[in-house]
């Protein structure tokens, strides 16, 4: 079995290393080595468009992350299944990140940190947890975990998804028609949507202005969801209180980006959830074994919806 690792980020040695323990007989090639083009399986992160179409033996494309947007951006994909990573550890880590971020705004650490820098002792009134409604955009495996952790911590939680779902303890809104009502009630908006043509730029002036006064944003899906200038304008005008941003259209975020220095905005380095290479490798190995047995691999995505 020949496995190609195809990424514009260069050689992902850690992936070959983790997988060779699980698949000792496999041979690994890193695109652009010419042998990579004859591989049966492609493990991808941001592949160069057109490369996968040049692999005649390809039977499976596997993302090495939870997202597949960087694969689906290739307009010439061959007709083989595309799988993603679905990792409980990653979902739990993202839930921790979001919980911390919600507490940061709820308990006003954003303001206290600014005051501390100026040696100001000021005790803010404590806002009741019940009055901090958290609105989660995207109720897939990660969004559902985040919703359940926040609800267990006593926060009122709403969720918004393309289609309706039933989730205990979560007020679910669905589709474009219900987006305004969802946004109007969210004191903290958390974006965990997959990146698709429909969701790109969804965090724009129109939608962010629907949030109540003093609401905050937590973004840990993709940078392309956010229209940065619109957020900057709404934070400067005070309509949006602040934001914690973990993902950006260009990563690392360039030093000249105004996001680094705008008061109220905290930048973190795409750290909200990192799956362990060993866990990624064991899911990929399991999917390859299923393919060999003629079974459908786990976590196959639907390219027509984008996740
Ligand atoms: C992922 C990510 O998609 O880390 O796994 O963004």
Residue 253 has pLDDT above 90, yes or no: yes
Determine what percent of the chain is predicted with pLDDT higher than 90: 94
What residues line ligand 1, using a CB cutoff of 6 Å? 65-67
The verdict on whether 111 is a catalytic residue reads no
ω into residue 32 within 30 of 0, thus cis?
A: yes
Give, for 110, the enclosing helix (H) or strand (E): helix 109-117
Distance of CA 292 from the midpoint of ligand 1 (Å) = 27
Residue 119 pLDDT: 98
Q: How many CB atoms lie within 10 A of CB 255?
A: 7
The verdict on whether 222 is a catalytic residue reads yes
Please give the structure tokens belonging to residue 115: 């005051």
Question: How many angstroms separate the CA atoms of 75 and 287, rounded?
Answer: 24
Among the listed residues 270, 278, 290, 298, the single catalytic one is 270
Residue 11 pLDDT: 84
Single pTM value for the model: 0.93
Q: How many CB atoms lie within 10 A of CB 117?
A: 8
Q: What angle do CA 142, 52, 58 make, to 5 degrees?
A: 90
Could you read off the pLDDT of 80-109 as tens digits, one per residue? 999 999 999 999 999 999 999 999 999 999
Residue 125 has pLDDT above 90, yes or no: yes
Distance of CA 197 from the midpoint of ligand 1 (Å) = 18
Q: With contact defined as beta carbons under 8 Å apart, do 5 and 33 qualify?
A: no
Among the listed residues 30, 222, 225, 241, the single catalytic one is 222
Confidence of residue 12 (pLDDT cuts 50, 70, 90): confident
Residue 207 has pLDDT above 90, yes or no: yes
Distance of CA 66 from the midpoint of ligand 1 (Å) = 5
Q: Which atom of ligand 1 is nearest to the CA of 67?
A: 3
Residue 31 has pLDDT above 90, yes or no: yes
């Amino acid at each position: 079995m020949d496995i190609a690792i195809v990424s514009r980020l260069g050689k992902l040695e850690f992936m070959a290393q983790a997988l060779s323990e699980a698949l000792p007989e496999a041979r690994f090639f890193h695109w652009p080595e010419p042998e990579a083009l004859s591989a049966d399986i492609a493990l991808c992160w941001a592949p160069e468009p057109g490369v996968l179409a040049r692999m005649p033996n390809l039977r499976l494309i596997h993302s090495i992350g939870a997202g597949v947007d960087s694969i689906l951006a290739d307009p010439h994909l061959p007709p083989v299944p595309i799988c993603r990573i679905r990792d409980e550890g990653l979902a739990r880590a993202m839930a921790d990140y979001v919980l911390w971020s919600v507490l940061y705004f709820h308990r006003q650490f954003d303001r206290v940190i600014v005051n501390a820098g100026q040696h100001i002792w000021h005790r803010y009134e404590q806002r009741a947890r019940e009055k901090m409604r958290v609105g989660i955009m995207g109720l897939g495996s990660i969004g559902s975990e985040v919703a359940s952790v926040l609800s267990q911590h006593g926060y009122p939680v709403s969720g918004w998804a393309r289609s309706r779902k039933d989730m205990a303890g979560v007020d679910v809104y669905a589709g474009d028609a219900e987006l305004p009502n969802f946004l109007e009630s969210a004191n903290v908006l958390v974006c965990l949507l997959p990146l698709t043509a429909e969701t790109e730029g969804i965090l724009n002036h129109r939608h962010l202005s629907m949030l109540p006064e003093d609401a905050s944003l937590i973004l840990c899906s993709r940078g392309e969801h956010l229209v940065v200038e619109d957020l900057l304008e709404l934070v400067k005008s005070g309509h949006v209180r602040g934001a914690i941003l973990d993902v950006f259209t260009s990563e690392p975020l360039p030093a000249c980006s105004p996001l680094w220095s705008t008061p109220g905005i905290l930048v973190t380095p795409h750290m909200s959830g990192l799956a362990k290479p060993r866990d990624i490798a064991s899911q990929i190995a399991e999917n390859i074994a299923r393919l060999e047995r003629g079974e459908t691999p786990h976590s196959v995505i639907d390219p027509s919806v984008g996740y």
